[in-house]
A and B are shown apart, each in its own frame.
Chain A
Amino acid sequence: MARTMWDSSVGKKTVMAVSGLIMLLYLVAHMIGNLKIFFGAGEFNDYAHWLRTVGEPFMHYEWTLWLIRVVLVVAVVAHAVSAYQLSRRDIKARPSKYVHKKPRASYATRTMRWGGIILGLFIVWHILDLTTGTVHPGGFETGKPYQNILDTFSTWYGNVIYIVAMLALGLHIRHGFWSAAQTLGVGSRTRDRALKTVANVLALLLTAGFIAVPVGVMTGVVN
C-alpha cells in the first residue's frame, strides 16, 4: 500500500494532505502556547518548562517533546519531498506556456510553492534562533524563552522575517486546508462552504495569533 501511495500522484497528494494536517494541528497548539507571553515572564517560562515535563512520570524529562519533534520532522520532510516531486511533474507536464497570458487562480493558490519555500526557510531560521540559539541576537539563555523572544523581536529583521513568514503561512493554510479536504475525499458540494470558512478562519486566527507576539513586543505590551 505504501508503494502504491508513493508512486501515484494522487497518493503523494494524500501524503501532503496528512502531513499538512499534522503540522496544522501542531501550529494551533503552538499559537495558543505563544499567547501566554502576554501574561508575563513567569507564566511563559513556566509553560516552556512544563512542555519538557509533559507525560511524566510515564515519560522521562523531554521525551514527549522529542516525540513531537520527530513526528514534525517526518511531516515536514514528507510534505516537502512530495511537494518537490509533484511540482517537478507539474512543470514537466506543461513545458510550453501560452503566448496570451491571463491571471489565473486566487493569490493563495498561486503562491503555494513559493510560500512553502518561504515557510521552509523560516522554520530553519526559527529553530536556529529560538531553539538552538545559533543565530540568536544577544545572549541566548536556555530555559528563558521570554527573554529570548524579546531579543529577537527587538531587531528589525527578526520582526520582518517573522511577520512575512506568518502572512505566507496564512495564505498557505487558506488554500492548503481546503485542498487537503478534497485530496482526502471528504469535500462535497454541501460541505464546501463550511470547509472554505474553516480554512479562512484557521488562516486568519493563526496568522493573527502568531503576529500578535512581535506586535506585542514592538508596542511595548510585552517587555
Chain B
Amino acid sequence: MKLTLRVWRQQNADADGAMSTYEVDGISPDMSFLEMLDTLNEELILKGEDPVAFDHDCREGICGACSLVINGDAHGPERTTTCQLHMRSFKDGDTIDIEPWRAAAFPVIKDLVVDRSAFDRIIQAGGYITAPTGSAPEAHATPVPKPDADFAFEHAECIGCGACVAACPNGSAMLFTSAKVNHLNVLPQGAPERESRVLDMVAQMDEEGFGGCTLTGECATACPKGIPLMSITGMNKEWLRATRKAAKR
C-alpha cells in the first residue's frame, strides 16, 4: 500500500505546530497503525530528519498509552485503540490525517504526544479505595452481587487513554471520571469513600480545565473499551446524592 500522511508536527509545547505531508510506500495491510508510523520514522531517521513523536507502550490495547486522532476520529475508524487498528482499514492511495488529542487540559508536548497527567490528578483525588495492605484477602470474605460485579467490571475496563476527551467537542472528561466513580462506588470496597470520591473527582476534573458534558455522546462512540454514555448519568446521580448527604451533615 502507498499512503499519503498528513501529520501534526510541533517541536515543543511552546512552538507553533502545522500539518506536514509524507509519502509512505510498502505498507502491508497486516501492519498495525503504529507499525506504519514506525516505517515512516525509520525512513525519516535514514534521511536525517526528526522522527514523529507519538505515545505507545503495550501495543496490545490494554495500557492506554497510544492516542492519535486519525481522520478526525479518536483511535481511528475502528472501535479499538490505535495500536490495535490495522492498515487493512485503509485503502491503497488514501490520505490519512493524524493529529494529537485536542484539549486545553491535554497540552501538546511534541508532535502527537500530549500531557495526560490531568487524568492522574483526577484519580489521585478519589479514584482509589482505602484497603489494608498485605496479602490478598479471601475472595469470598466480601460478597459482591453478580450484577454489581458486572457493572463494576464494565466501568473498570477504562484504560485512561483520553479518547473521550479528544472526541468531545467540549474537551470534557466526564466519561473517564464517571467510569472510575461507577466502578468503585458500586462495590462494598469502595463504600467508605462513596461520597467524597465523586465530589472530589468532579471538583478536580473542573479544576483541570476540562469542559462540561452536553451529552453529545461522542465520548462513548470513541471509547475503545465501550464505556457506555449512561456511565455519566450514573455519576450525575452519585454526585447529587453525595451533595445532598454532605448538606445534611
A and B interact physically:
yes
- B234 to A: closest C-beta gap in Å: 7
A residues in contact with B234, CB < 8 Å: 185
**Is A67's beta carbon under 8 Å from chain B?**
no
Question: CB-nearest residue of chain B relative to A187?
Answer: B233
Interface centre among B72, B205, B228, by most A CB within 10 Å?
A: B72
**Is B192's beta carbon under 8 Å from chain A?**
no
Q: Are A11 and B243 in contact (CB under 8 A)?
A: yes
If the complex has contacts A1-B246, A14-B240, A182-B233, are A104 and B218 also in contact, measured as CB distance less than 8 A? yes
Of the stretches B22-30, B48-56, B97-105, B183-191, the one at the interface is B97-105
Question: CB-nearest residue of chain B relative to A101?
Answer: B72
| Size of interface on B: residues with Cβ below 8 Å to A | 50
Q: Are A189 and B228 in contact (CB under 8 A)?
A: yes
Question: Per-position contact with A for B13-25: 1 when CB-CB < 8 Å, else 0?
Answer: 0000001000000
Question: Per-position contact with A for B158-172: 1 when CB-CB < 8 Å, else 0?
Answer: 000000000011111
Q: Are A4 and B69 in contact (CB under 8 A)?
A: no
A residues in contact with B237, CB < 8 Å: 184-186
A residues in contact with B239, CB < 8 Å: 8, 10-11, 185
**Is B8's beta carbon under 8 Å from chain A?**
yes
Question: CB-nearest residue of chain B relative to A2?
Answer: B247
Q: Is the interface of A mostly helix, strand, loop or mixed?
A: helix
Q: Are B216 and A100 in contact (CB under 8 A)?
A: no
Q: Are A89 and B212 in contact (CB under 8 A)?
A: yes
Q: Are B172 and A90 in contact (CB under 8 A)?
A: yes
Q: Is the interface of B mostly helix, strand, loop or mixed?
A: mixed
A residues in contact with B216, CB < 8 Å: 104-105, 109-110
B residues in contact with A100, CB < 8 Å: 69, 71-72, 97, 99
Q: Are B218 and A99 in contact (CB under 8 A)?
A: no
Q: Are B228 and A102 in contact (CB under 8 A)?
A: no
Q: Are A185 and B217 in contact (CB under 8 A)?
A: no
**Is A172's beta carbon under 8 Å from chain B?**
no
The answer for the CA separation of A95 and B71 in the assembled complex, in Å, is 19
Q: Are B211 and A99 in contact (CB under 8 A)?
A: no
Interface centre among A89, A181, A184, by most B CB within 10 Å?
A: A89
Q: Are B244 and A182 in contact (CB under 8 A)?
A: no
CB-defined A-B contacts under 8 Å, sample of 22? A9-B205, A12-B212, A14-B240, A89-B170, A89-B211, A90-B169, A90-B171, A93-B172, A93-B209, A94-B169, A97-B102, A99-B6, A100-B71, A100-B72, A175-B215, A179-B215, A181-B233, A182-B233, A183-B236, A184-B240, A185-B237, A185-B238
Binding site for B on A (CB under 8 A): 1, 4-5, 7-14, 86, 89-102, 104-105, 109-110, 112, 175, 178-179, 181-189, 192
